[in-house]
Amino acid sequence: MQAILALEDGKIFKGRSFGASGERYGEVVFNTGMTGYQEVLTDPSYKGQIVAMTYPLIGNYGVNKEDAESRRPFLEGFAVKECSKIASNWRSKQSLDEYLKENKILGIEGIDTRALTLHLRKAGAMKAVLSTIDLDEKSLIKKAKHSLGLVGIDLVKQVTVDKKYLWPGIQQGAYKVAVLDCGVKYNILRELARYKCQVIVLPAEASAEEILGLKPDGLLLPNGPGDPAAVKYVIQTTHKLIGKLPIFGICLGHQMLGLALGGKTYKLKFGHHGANHPVKDLKTGKVSITAQNHGFCVDIDSLDQSKIEATHINLNDQTLEGMRHKKLPVFSVQFHPEASCGPHDAEYLFRDFIALMKKHA
């Protein structure tokens, strides 16, 4: 079946459909990871986006239950050069095509993903529509132009859980960590459990009073989709909790923490999506290769630098990658220290969070 990916600026990519059929809208971004397509598919941070993989052959090792990073895929569409017809791996349970069909996710293959990536790097991430039912190019371009996009849209409500739950494995841990589910990846929870933490996951709209009522040793603000400035209820909750318990922010959590501290965020031209981004620790001078997935960034100049200091910087574009409060037990990073799938260079940040909870117990 024919499929078309139409961008708001009039650029058209024609290919073949795989996965589900239909029509979806979203911002097109590219991911530079060579492996980990299942982790990409199940990362809730991609809600509202159509993801193009730069690596040309996707699906060759199939899909399994263990590598899922959330309860289901949330992205709007998946664009690849070639979807492998063979899924060859001893852990594979089904093919990529079957998995997308099962979860009603549209896929398009046979397009020039290199040309798409170069176009997005030059023009920036933009709104688009992926369709197998409307093949009229002018109609699709018009639909893309009039779609909502990401700016000012709260997508967290579409990925968060309905009620709180205890992450399985650790019933009585050395530390109790409250996690506001803004689209949290499971490997963040796995990492906390690996450090013997009891992990309680709460809906994103949980109040500061509800969180403090659990008597946690720390709060983790995780990744999630969309514009951080649109998630005002989490920002307000975070503002109330600053200084009352140790806080660790990751990705969207880092951005919302920046806003709660009085700063501002802005949209990047085409974002950071992949597993190979170099980040420098400004204290030690050490460079880590990190996994990233974000389209917005905290403006360090908008923060009170008598209280907040930058801790990490992106070596590709010099954007802020980490910050901490100079007096309070609060710190955050823009990249993913749990890195599933990806490099483990930044795993030490979970130990830093444990040490902070121990110090302020």
Question: 14-47, pLDDT tens digit by residue?
Answer: 999 999 999 999 999 999 999 999 999 999 999 9
Assess if residue 150 is contained within a domain.
no
The chain-wide mean pLDDT, for the chain, equals 97
Tokens of 88: 């060859």
Q: How many helices (H) and strands (E) does the chain have?
A: 9, 19
For the chain, how many structural domains are there in total? 2
Residues 6 or more apart whose Cβ sits within 8 Å of residue 71 = none
Helices within 202-242 (DSSP H only): 208-213, 232-241
Query: Looking at the structure, do residues 122 and 206 belong to the same domain, yes or no?
Result: no
Query: Looking at the structure, do residues 222 and 351 belong to the same domain, yes or no?
Result: yes
Domain boundary among 145, 173, 189: 145
Which residue segment(s) compose the domain that 33 sits in?
2-145
Rounded Cα gap, residues 135 and 146, in angstroms:
17
Exposed (0-12), middle (13-18) or buried (19+): which is 89, by Cβ within 10 Å?
exposed
Query: Looking at the structure, do residues 137 and 163 belong to the same domain, yes or no?
Result: no
Q: Is 335 strand, coil or helix?
A: coil
Question: 330-358, pLDDT tens digit by residue?
Answer: 999 999 999 887 889 999 999 999 999 99
Residues annotated as catalytic are 251, 336, 338
Query: Looking at the structure, do residues 29 and 132 belong to the same domain, yes or no?
Result: yes
Question: 60-70, pLDDT tens digit by residue?
Answer: 999 999 999 99
High-pLDDT (> 90) share of the chain, %: 96
pTM: 0.96
CATH number, domain with residue 122 = 3.50.30.20
Query: Looking at the structure, do residues 181 and 287 belong to the same domain, yes or no?
Result: yes
High-pLDDT (> 70) share of the chain, %: 100
Question: For the range 287-290, what are the long-range contacts, defined as Cβ-Cβ under 8 Å and sequence gap of 24 or more?
Answer: 287/315, 288/343, 288/345, 288/346, 289/343, 289/345, 290/321, 290/335, 290/336, 290/337, 290/339, 290/342, 290/343, 290/345, 290/346
In the predicted structure, residue 50 carries a pLDDT above the cut 80: yes
Query: Looking at the structure, do residues 197 and 106 belong to the same domain, yes or no?
Result: no
Taking residues 88-102, report their average pLDDT: 97
Question: 178-227, pLDDT tens digit by residue?
Answer: 999 999 999 999 999 999 999 999 999 999 999 999 999 999 999 999 99
Q: If you ran DSSP here, which 8-state letter would residue 328 be given?
A: S
Query: Looking at the structure, do residues 264 and 218 belong to the same domain, yes or no?
Result: yes
Closest CA to 110 of 87, 131, 84: 84
pLDDT score of 310: 98
Rounded Cα gap, residues 290 and 292, in angstroms:
6
Q: Is 159 strand, coil or helix?
A: coil
pLDDT score of 309: 97
